[in-house]
Structure 1
Amino acid sequence: MEVIIFENESLVAKRAASMFVDLLTAKPSAVLGLATGSTPIKTYQELIAKFNDGEVSFKDVSTFNLDEYVGLKSKDKQSYQYFMREQLFDSIDVQIENTHFPVCVDAKNNQEMAEDYEAKIAEKKGIDLQLLGIGHNGHIGFNEPSSSLSSRTRLKTLTHSTLKANSRLFKEGEVQPTMAMTMGIGTIMDAKEILLVATGKDKAQAVRDTIEGAVSASCPASILQMHPSVTVLLDKHSASNLENTEYYQRVADQVKQLR
Structure 2
Amino acid sequence: MEIVILPNTAEVGRLAADQIESLLAGKAHAVLGLATGSSPLPIYRELEQRYQSGTVSFARARAFTLDEYVGLPDGHPEQYREVIRKEFTDKVDFDPANVHGPAGNAAGTHYACQAYEKAVQAAGGVDLQILGIGTDGHIGFNEPGSSLASRTRIKTLTEQTRRDNARFFDSLDEVPRHVVTQGLGTILEASHILLAATGANKAQAVRHLVEGPVSALCPASALQLHPHVTVLLDDAAASQLSLADYYRHSFRHKPDWQKL
TM-score range, shorter chain: over 0.9
Let me know the Cα RMSD of the aligned residues: 1.3
Q: Give the unaligned 5+ runs of structure 2.
A: none
TM-score of the two chains, using structure 1 as the length reference: 0.97
Q: Give how far 1:90 is off.
A: 1.1
SS at match of 2:78: coil
- State the match for 1:241 in structure 2: 240
Q: Give how far 1:245 is off.
A: 1.2
Identity %: 46
Letter in 1 for 2:241: L
Distance 1:74 1:92, change over 3 A: farther
- State the match for 2:32 in structure 1: 32
Letter in 2 for 1:100: H
Q: Give how far 1:173 is off.
A: 9.1
Q: 1:61–1:98: 8 Å Cα contact kept in structure 2?
A: yes
- State the match for 2:189 in structure 1: 190
- State the match for 1:255 in structure 2: 254
TM-score of the two chains, using structure 2 as the length reference: 0.96
Write out per-residue CA displacement over residues 190-210 of structure 1, whole angstroms, 9 at most, x where no aligned residue.
000000100000000000000
Paired with 1:21 and 1:202, the residues of 2 have a C-alpha distance of 29
Q: Give how far 1:254 is off.
A: 3.0
SS at match of 1:255: coil
Q: Give how far 1:145 is off.
A: 0.3
Letter in 2 for 1:62: R
Where in structure 2 are the equivalents of 1:1-259 lying within 5 Å? 1-105=1-105, 108-172=107-171, 175-259=174-258
SS at match of 2:174: coil
Q: 1:133–1:196: 8 Å Cα contact kept in structure 2?
A: yes
Q: 2:139–2:219: 8 Å Cα contact kept in structure 1?
A: yes
Distance 1:19 1:74, change over 3 A: farther
Paired with 2:255 and 2:6, the residues of 1 have a C-alpha distance of 14
Q: Give how far 1:161 is off.
A: 0.4
SS at match of 2:154: strand
